[in-house]
Amino acid sequence: MRNLNLDQLQTLVAIADLGTFAAASQALHLAPPTVSLHIKELEARLDATLVVRGRRQAALTPAGHALVDGARKLLAASDDLVELVQRRASGREGLVRVGVSAGVSTRLLPLVLQALSERNPGVEVRLEAVGSAQSMQRLQLGSLDIAIVASPQPAVADIVLTPWRADPMVALLPAAWDAPEQVTAQWLSERRWASFSAPTQMHGLIASWFGQAGYRPRPFLALSYPGALKSLAAACQSAALLPLEEVEDQRNAPDVQIRHLHPPLIRPMAVAHRQLSTPNPAVDAVRAVLAEFGQL
C-alpha cells in the first residue's frame, strides 16, 4: 500500500472540523471536485468508508474518526519538520562549538549570547575555555567551529582569522592605594600585582610591556580566571592587570579604582573559523553576532 497523502489527510481534517465539503473547499482554497477526489482516494487506499454525506453535514465514520486523530499528529509532525529544515537552512538551528581564551571578557560573553538567543533562538552555542594555540589546533581538527583568540596567530591551513577587538589593558587597584593617574611599569613593579598565568598570550603580552620598560617583575599571583583577579583587587590584596572591557562594571565600585597604563598596552583579539566548502548557516549566525561586538 502506498504511503498516505498529507494533502488528503488535511482535507479530511478540514471536513471534520468544519462539517461540510463546501466549507473545507473554501478553507483550503480547493475546488469542490478536488475535495471529493481526496476523500475518495483516501477511502480507496484504506478500503474503508471515512465520511458519510448528509443533507447539511458530513459525518465521520468510526474509521474516519480514528484516521483524523492520527492525521492531526502527522500534520503537526510535518509542520515541525518543515520548520526545523527552514531553521537549519536559515541558520536559526544548530550547535556551534566556540573556543574562548582566558582574555575574553566574562562581561562581554553574556551580552553576545543574549543577542544570539534573541535573533537565532535555535542556535545552541557550546563554549569551551581553550588557549589560543590549542584553539587553532582544534579548529583544524574540526572539534571547534569558531574560536576567539589572541592576535596575532601563526597561519594555519584552512583557518580564517578576522580581527575582532583591540581593548586597552588597565590596572584594577585597591581603592586604598595612593595611585597615579596613569600606572607605569616602574610603579607597578614595586607593588603586588596579579595577572594571567603562563602560557597564555595575555601573560606574554604583559611580560613584554614590563620588558620594554626594562623590568622583569614576577606577579604576586597568576590565574586564568578574570573574576578571581578582580576579587584580589577588591580584597586589597594586589593590583590586577585586565582588559578594560572586563572591569567596566567596576567603575563605581567603592573598593577598587581603575587606572590606565603608560605607555598604553593593547590586547588584540581575533575570531578564527574553519574555511568550509559548504556554508554552515548556524556558524555564520554566530560569526555575524560576534562581528557586531567587534571594536577595532
- Residue 242 in any domain: the answer is yes
CA–CA gap between residue 25 and residue 35 (Å, rounded)? 6
What does the mean pLDDT of the chain come to? 90
- Residue 210 in any domain: the answer is yes
- Residue 112 in any domain: the answer is yes
For residue 36 the three cell numbers come to 471529493
Is residue 113 domain-shared with residue 186, that is, in the same domain? no
Using an 8 Å Cβ cutoff, are 163 and 153 in contact?
no
Read off the amino acid at residue 35. Answer: V
pLDDT, position 221: 87
Is residue 177 domain-shared with residue 260, that is, in the same domain? yes
CATH code at position 24:
1.10.10.10
pLDDT, position 2: 62
Is residue 280 domain-shared with residue 135, that is, in the same domain? yes
Is residue 110 domain-shared with residue 243, that is, in the same domain? no
Read off the amino acid at residue 67. Answer: L
Least confident of 15-19, 96-100, 208-212, 220-224: 220-224
Of 57, 90, 123, the one marking the end of a domain is: 90
Whether the predicted pLDDT of 296 surpasses 60: no
- CA angle at 132 for the pair 131 and 136, rounded to the nearest 5°: 115
For residue 63 the three cell numbers come to 474509521
Q: Which contiguous run of DSSP H or E holds residue 20?
A: none
Angle between helix 21-28 and helix 6-18 axes, rounded to 10 deg: 120
The predicted model gives 46-72 an average pLDDT of 92
Whether the predicted pLDDT of 18 surpasses 70: yes
Residues 6+ apart with CB under 8 A from 9: 42, 67, 71, 74, 75
CA–CA gap between residue 81 and residue 280 (Å, rounded)? 19
pLDDT digits (tens, 9 = 90+) for 140-155: 988 999 999 988 899 8
Is residue 18 domain-shared with residue 85, that is, in the same domain? yes
In residues, how long is the chain? 296
pLDDT, position 288: 94
pLDDT, position 90: 66
CA–CA gap between residue 243 and residue 13 (Å, rounded)? 61
Is residue 182 domain-shared with residue 240, that is, in the same domain? yes
Is residue 172 domain-shared with residue 258, that is, in the same domain? yes
- Residue 1 in any domain: the answer is no
Whether the predicted pLDDT of 267 surpasses 80: yes
Nearest Cα residue to 290 out of 272, 277, 267: 272
pLDDT digits (tens, 9 = 90+) for 154-212: 988 899 999 999 999 999 999 999 999 999 999 999 999 998 888 788 888 999 999 99
- Residue 221 in any domain: the answer is yes
Read off the amino acid at residue 59. Answer: A
Residues 6+ apart with CB under 8 A from 91: 120, 123, 281, 282, 284, 285
Return the C-alpha torsion angle 105, 108, 114, 119, nearest 10: -110
Confidence of residue 130 (pLDDT cuts 50, 70, 90): confident
Is residue 124 domain-shared with residue 256, that is, in the same domain? no
CATH code at position 197:
3.40.190.10
Is residue 172 domain-shared with residue 259, that is, in the same domain? yes
Is residue 160 domain-shared with residue 277, that is, in the same domain? yes
Is residue 114 domain-shared with residue 231, that is, in the same domain? no
Is residue 82 domain-shared with residue 139, that is, in the same domain? no
Cis upstream peptide for 268 (omega within 30°): no
Percent pLDDT > 90 in the chain is 60
Nearest Cα residue to 22 out of 62, 55, 69: 55
CA–CA gap between residue 9 and residue 67 (Å, rounded)? 8
- Residue 132 in any domain: the answer is yes
pTM greater than 0.85: no
Confidence of residue 1 (pLDDT cuts 50, 70, 90): very low
In 11-158, where do the E strands start and end?
A: 51-53, 58-60, 93-100, 122-129, 146-150
pLDDT, position 248: 87
CA–CA gap between residue 217 and residue 206 (Å, rounded)? 10
The domain in which residue 134 lies consists of 93-165+269-292
- Residue 161 in any domain: the answer is yes
Domain count, the chain: 3
Residue 167: CB atoms within 10 A of its CB come to 21
- Residue 273 in any domain: the answer is yes
